[in-house]
Structure 1
Amino acid sequence: MRKIIYFMSMSLDGYIEGPDRDIGWHQVDDDLHRAYNERLAAMGGFLHGRVVHELMADFWPTADQDPASAGPTAEFAVIWRNMPKYVYSRTLQRADWNTTVVHDVVAEEVMALKERPGGDLALGGAGLAASFAALDLIDEYWVYVHPVLIGRGKPMFPLSDTRTALRLAGTEAFGNGVVELRYERAEKPSAH
């Protein structure tokens, strides 16, 4: 069965974006972008909320046509265009670029999506991830910690009363100071 992987960059103090959706502090050089491309190209689909999807759709469909976007940026444009995308939105009625609009996060529908053949599913966006987490649907967390404190913004993990045990599955440090942390769900204790 496919896994749902919450794939996100955050500041050291836990934010995915600063005020006014600022992500200018992300330190994505070619080395890190190549790693993103390698991991995301192996996925079977992207799961995003409307805001993340619209931000992606505003840039990636034609990014490889800009001569300034050579190398890994141009490569990701192709990955993004070709990847099946599921955008969760109660207001969006249709979307382009190989995208299916889903109006609500329904556990049974997500489980059916996980049972389809193909690669794992990359989940992006704190609000959508909170909805998936509330239904216990996230299998792994791939967090890219950027070496910066931004002070305030949108937290990667909204406040919750739920405790989720995780196991470190791997790490990688990049030359620009970004550290990748990959966590898997810890096995649930069996009832005796």
Structure 2
Amino acid sequence: MNKIVSTVSVSLDGFFEGPDRDIDWHTVDEEVHQHFNDCLRTMGGFVEGRVTYQLMEEFWPTADQDPAVEGPMAEFAGIWRDMPKFVFSRTLESVGPGATLLHEVDPEQVRGLRDAASGDLVVGGADLLESFRRFDLIDAYRIYVHPVILGRGRPFFRDTEERQGLRLLETRTFGNGVVLLRYETVRA
């Protein structure tokens, strides 16, 4: 059965964005980027909120046409372009080729997308992740902890009334100090 997987980079103190929405502290070298590619190319689609989709759509569809973009970055451009995308937005009126626009998070519809996909769905976007978590739609987490303390910013996990059990499946340390923590959701 396909899963919905949250893949996120966080600082050691748990922020996924700095105080000005900055992510320039991400330590993504060639090894980490190749790992991302190897994981993402097996997915059945990207599920994103408006902000994440627009940031990705702004750069990746043609990134590999720039001679300065090579190696894993150029490879990811193809992965991004070819992968189905499901975009949740209340404000967008249209999305680009290969993308489907959805306006509300309907848990049954999301489960249907998951089950119909050719592989796991990877979900991104802070607000969308929070909605998915609230509806208990996230089956697994791939958390990449970067070797930096930001001190402030936007936390990955927000306050919640519900406790969620997780089972550790894998840890991996990359040469640049990034650590992958891979968990699956434990349901009663």
TM-score, normalised to structure 2, is 0.98
Distance 1:109 1:53 in 2: 19
Q: Secondary structure at the match of 2:167?
A: strand
**CA displacement at 1:111 relative to structure 2:** 1.2
Q: Percent identity?
A: 55
Q: 1:122-177 deviations in whole A, cap 9, x for unaligned?
A: 01122111100111110000000000001111111111111000000111110000
Unaligned runs of 5+ in 2: none
Q: Secondary structure at the match of 1:19?
A: coil
Which letter maps to 1:185?
T
**CA displacement at 1:97 relative to structure 2:** 3.4
Check if 1:110 corresponds to 2:149. no
- Alignment correspondent of 1:136: 136
- Alignment correspondent of 2:100: 100
Q: Secondary structure at the match of 1:149?
A: coil
> Contact 2:169 / 2:184 at 8 angstroms: preserved in 1?
yes
Map 1:114-125; keep pairs closer than 5 Å: 114-125=114-125
RMSD of the alignment, in Å? 0.9
Map 1:135-174; keep pairs closer than 5 Å: 135-174=135-174
TM-score, normalised to structure 1, is 0.96
- Alignment correspondent of 1:126: 126
- Alignment correspondent of 1:73: 73
- Alignment correspondent of 2:24: 24
> Contact 2:2 / 2:117 at 8 angstroms: preserved in 1?
yes
Which letter maps to 2:9?
S
Alignment size in residue pairs: 188
> Contact 1:47 / 1:124 at 8 angstroms: preserved in 2?
yes
Which letter maps to 1:122?
V
Check if 1:45 corresponds to 2:57. no
Unaligned runs of 5+ in 1: none
> Contact 2:141 / 2:182 at 8 angstroms: preserved in 1?
yes
Distance 1:187 1:161, change over 3 A: closer
Runs ≥4 in structure 1, deviation > 3 angstroms? none
Which letter maps to 1:80?
W
Distance 2:25 2:98 in 1: 30
